[in-house]
Amino acid sequence: MRPEIAVLDIQGQYRVYTEFYRADAAQKTIILVNGSMATTASFAQTAKNLYPQFNVVLYDQPYAGKSKAHNRHEKMLTKEIEGQILLELIDHFAAEHVLSFSWGGAATLTALAQRPRRIEKAVISSFSPVLNAPMRDYLERGVDYLSSLDGDLVGHLVNNTIGKHLPPLFKRFNYRHVSSLAEHEYGQMHFHINDVLHSDQQCYINAAKKVDVPVLFLNGEWDEYTSATDARLFANHVQHSTFTTLQATGHFLDMEHKAACRDSRDALLGFLKPSHHASRPRYSYVQDYHAVAI
């Protein structure tokens, strides 16, 4: 898998690093939306699960990864701005599908509420419309650590909460990544968390009501932070909604172990490409990337 790399100008305001994995036989393109503090590297396993059945697009938000060197970071990005960036990328790459992870679900719902004409199906993973007690505790501690720019504590917090089911190697990558972020990245994360803690959670429901394409909500059985039970509340608001719970896995789904990787791939292809044959090729379980997200 060798991507076509480009840094795209978004309405003269942001520069966004993108990776386009083109598959000659693919008929559809899917764009993947990161969680907060994550980069294109976080989707290494997911991209392998989707390619070459689809052309796959990865990108870094303007404040993160390989995009950050191309932007000034003069203001914080809201979920509405991230949603607009996603809409621009959908048009640029002519994507028919979108898949989000964790905080990326907020921007994705915001974008889908605009009913982009190209999008046919969407997957929203590890996201729910409820700010439950475990998630609130995680976010409130995160606000304290981020306000003091304590990367060490933030790194341990992520690994001990939403990342607690990750393999030890992934936890090491996570810690190394989170503990060494730039000051503006901690600031952006602080902004994200404050938005989640203080905004009306009804905004996610209001956006969901406007979505007019089939959506798969994918959650882990052991994820107490964005639980499968809470995610099912979207059923009352997304007209064409499907729900899948991955057994014996937490927040990070396909990153946590080989069976979860397999089950995640089966769920994605079963929803996006239902005619896909039940047999599966031999898996290569990626273990060289970070996984952070809220």
H-helix segments, 73-214: 79-93, 104-112, 133-147, 151-160, 168-178, 183-198, 202-209
Q: Has residue 142 been placed in a domain? A: no
Q: Has residue 280 been placed in a domain? A: no
Which candidate, 107, 119, 124, 87, places its Cα nearest to that of 11? 87
Q: Has residue 170 been placed in a domain? A: no
Which candidate, 7, 216, 251, 266, places its Cα nearest to that of 132? 251
CATH number at 83 reads 3.40.50.1820
In this prediction, residue 1 carries a pLDDT of 73
Q: Has residue 145 been placed in a domain? A: no
Model confidence, pTM: 0.91
Which candidate, 61, 139, 69, 134, places its Cα nearest to that of 100? 61
Secondary element (H or E) of residue 31: strand 29-33
Q: Has residue 235 been placed in a domain? A: yes
Instruction: Please state, in angstroms and rounded to a whole number, the distance separating the CA atoms of residues 69 and 71.
Output: 6
In this structure, the strands spanning 4-10 and 29-33 are: unpaired
Q: Has residue 239 been placed in a domain? A: yes
Q: Has residue 161 been placed in a domain? A: no
CB neighbours of residue 124 within 10 Å: 30
Q: Report how many domains make up the chain.
A: 1
Instruction: Please state, in angstroms and rounded to a whole number, the distance separating the CA atoms of residues 157 and 229.
Output: 24
Which candidate, 272, 291, 30, 22, places its Cα nearest to that of 162? 291
Which candidate, 101, 125, 122, places its Cα nearest to that of 112? 122
Instruction: Please state, in angstroms and rounded to a whole number, the distance separating the CA atoms of residues 68 and 230.
Output: 34
Domain that holds residue 65: 4-130+200-272
pLDDT tens over the chain, length 294 residues: 799 999 999 989 999 999 999 999 999 999 999 998 889 999 999 999 999 999 999 999 999 999 999 999 999 999 999 999 999 999 999 999 999 999 999 999 999 999 999 999 999 999 999 999 999 999 999 999 999 999 999 999 999 999 999 999 999 999 999 999 999 999 999 999 998 898 877 889 999 999 999 999 999 999 999 999 999 999 999 999 999 999 999 999 999 999 999 999 999 999 999 876 444 444 444 444 445 555
Q: Has residue 34 been placed in a domain? A: yes
